Amino acid sequence: MTRTLDWQIATVKATRQETPNVKTLTLALPSWTPHRAGQHYDIRLTAEDGYSAQRSYSVASEPERAGVIDITVERIGEGEVSPFLDDIAVVGDRFEVRGPIGGYFVWDAASGGPLLLVAGGSGVVPLMAMLRHRAASRANVPARLLYSSRTFDDVIYRDELEVLAKDGVGVFHTLTRSQPAGWTGYTRRIDDRMLAEVAKPLGRNVLAFVCGPTALVETAADGLERAGLSADRIRTERFGPSGP
């Protein structure tokens, strides 16, 4: 039996371009175990000369989807691992993975809510796993997502988020660099006023998950505390140095 910290060989089953810089890979795992929404896998790539590089990627799919996981990877220009996953990996490729990992930044339907999700860029990935799990488990928990992207074309899972919005999830976008004609969403970086507007209808007992670039995570977590949420109900995950 494979334990979560043993490496196993994943096979790329499908790929999907989400935005010009972001791709989803569906990976088949010989030792699949159900993850908790919000958990991640480590991916290790090894070159022919033996040099290897390892990075973490959140599971995007819901645990109800057995046998496979989706990861969604944003290409970082000078990066070692993300350009390989986005530009070079094709269906049939195999590489090492281990997981699922993490017990803090996780949400199960049984954890309840109301759920407030705040994301910047690819930080939406583990939050999407939570929304997909919420839908698949028919959890009736009120949920709102505040999602910051640079431009309309950079919004990951745009169509699926529209469907979720029709099914009762509150979806609020902010586009920080440019907006299409007729845009009615927010147009600035996440700030205290925006957080308070989105959080308020959910009440004080909200369970909040914040994920994205370090600066956004810190601003949003501090802002939610200033809006009256208790610190022990705010969970954060940092993906990298910069962002929208």
Ligand X SMILES: Cc1cc2nc3c(=O)[nH]c(=O)nc-3n(C[C@H](O)[C@H](O)[C@H](O)COP(=O)(O)OP(=O)(O)OC[C@H]3O[C@@H](n4cnc5c(N)ncnc54)[C@H](O)[C@@H]3O)c2cc1C
Helices and strands in the chain: count of H runs, count of E runs: 5, 11
Q: Which residues contact 156 (CB under 8 A, 6 or more apart)?
A: 18, 19, 22, 72, 121, 122, 124, 125, 128, 149
Question: Which is nearest to 219 in space by CA: 185, 194, 186?
Answer: 194
- Contact between 241 and 212 under an 8 Å Cβ cutoff? The reply is no
From the CB of 188, what's the least distance to ligand X, in Å? 20
Closest CB to ligand X among 170 and 213?
213
**Site for ligand X, residues 142 to 181, rule: CB under 6 A:** none
Burial of 74-104, coded b for 16+ CB within 10 Å and e otherwise, reads bbbeebebbebbbeebeeeeebebbbbebee
Tokens for 13, please give them: 């089953």
Closest CB to ligand X among 33 and 205?
33
By rule CB under 6 A, what string of x and - marks binding of each residue 99-128 to ligand X?
Answer: -----------------------x--x---
Q: Does 79 bind ligand X (CB under 6 A)?
A: yes
Q: Which residues contact 216 (CB under 8 A, 6 or more apart)?
A: 120, 123, 148, 189, 190, 210, 243, 244
Q: Does 4 bind ligand X (CB under 6 A)?
A: no
From the CB of 156, what's the least distance to ligand X, in Å? 9
Q: Does 69 bind ligand X (CB under 6 A)?
A: no
Closest CB to ligand X among 6 and 80?
80
Q: Does 97 bind ligand X (CB under 6 A)?
A: no
Q: Does 235 bind ligand X (CB under 6 A)?
A: no
Q: Does 55 bind ligand X (CB under 6 A)?
A: yes
- Contact between 89 and 191 under an 8 Å Cβ cutoff? The reply is no
Closest CB to ligand X among 18 and 143?
18
Q: Does 189 bind ligand X (CB under 6 A)?
A: no
Binding site for ligand X (CB under 6 A): 40, 55-58, 72-74, 76, 78-82, 122, 125, 213, 237, 239-243
